[in-house]
Amino acid sequence: MAVNWRGDLGFSDRLAATAKMQVTYRIANPDCSSTEPSRNAKLLEEKARQNALSLREYHELCAKAVQLLLSAQAAGNVEDRHVDEHIFPNLPLSGAQIGRYANAQHHSDGLFSEVFKAVDPEARSHHSRYELVALKITVPDQMTPPHDSKKEARILVAANGEHIITLLEAFQQAGGRFVLVFPFLPHGLDALLRQGTLTGDSRRNILRDIFSGLAHIHNLGIIHRDIKPTNILLSSPTGPAFLIDFGIAWSPSDPASEPTIEKILDVGTTSYRPPELLFGHQAYENKLDMWAAGCVAAQVACLGSKTLFDAGDLGSELALIKSIFETLGTPDLAVWPEAAAFPDWAKMNFTQYPARQWPAILPETDGTAVDLVSKLVVYESHQRLTAEEALEHPYLKRASKGQINA
């Protein structure tokens, strides 16, 4: 029986591959139109997806497409280039010198960043507990709003707290590069969900840490805007857990953040985006994070690597709306009164789906966990629990108090 590898290919993986091709196309064709790189990158990625016979072959074809684009340049312009040239030119995949950090090794890719892992040469002499660090390399001039690594650094300084990733330092490099330095945390919640290794106590402790972090930033007026498993890192498989990646966060006191009632809608990630975003509501508040956290809680408590809602292979907003409506029922203004003021609420007629019962949505799950999720994943944003209220929920009150923070 053939393995359905395309089903395991996530939207974020496809987006990352397409973004790399897009930037590489622009490098190889500096005189092209503004829309040409995006159009050709999408065609190349889709060709790789259609032609590949396995996930490994898909990644190989995407890498080959990038290399072919680079090889199309004049030989003098492509010497020593690698697929991450657009972020940090001429770096090898290991042994790089980044500021005072030597022998940095490439760790992971982001949409607008590359992350390297390195040993802090001064950690022992300064008695620092963070000997291993993560170096997030960005080019602010290449970022599009709401992505802004300098704003991220400012917000992280303001949001310093127990379950917020610590910004150890940030520094400028030649060529307009901006580097953020964090403790290296070896475990991602997304990986733990795929492995299916979480226990009852670790589930509750991890969720408690997530809501503690959210309570802290929400009390400061900050909205994270991209809560999802990949943005939650842990120092051990059982915790403590930390919120990371404040690259699109919003703060009322930061000059680079949008006006309160004109916030950018293109935030969040596919299946974790709340319905108010999908209907054009720009005056959203921190309850946006609570919907996303509820979706994460559903995975931690029951679903594992499967998301609560499905936005389809390409992250379609219509597919996400349909999935939400099929699960929670198609809302009317009696259920969702705030929607009457949303710009896109009355533009389409939707099939009327009945609401499913939460025990059927999250089967064979602790009843108090189901109750927690049901009070977070709610159409009317003001009816969602706050992070502080979530911490007082019976499911999380059972969390272990003996956890020692790293």
Q: Map tokens 């950690």 to a residue.
A: 123
Q: Give the C-alpha separation, 121 to 230, whole Å.
A: 28
Contact between 352 and 330 (Cβ < 8 Å)? yes
Beta strands 169-173 and 96-98 are unpaired
Q: Map tokens 């403590």 to a residue.
A: 240
Contact between 281 and 343 (Cβ < 8 Å)? yes
Query: CB under 8 Å to 175, separation ≥6 — which residues?
Result: 89, 139
Q: Map tokens 């930037």 to a residue.
A: 23
| 44, two tokens | 């190349």
Q: Give the C-alpha separation, 67 to 199, whole Å.
A: 43
Asked if 226 is an active-site residue, the reply is: yes
Query: From the candidates 120, 226, 254, 289, which is the catalytic residue?
Result: 226
- Number of CB atoms found within 10 A of residue 93's CB: 13
Between vectors from CA 71 to CA 54 and to CA 10, what angle results, nearest 5°? 30
Q: Which residues are catalytic?
A: 226
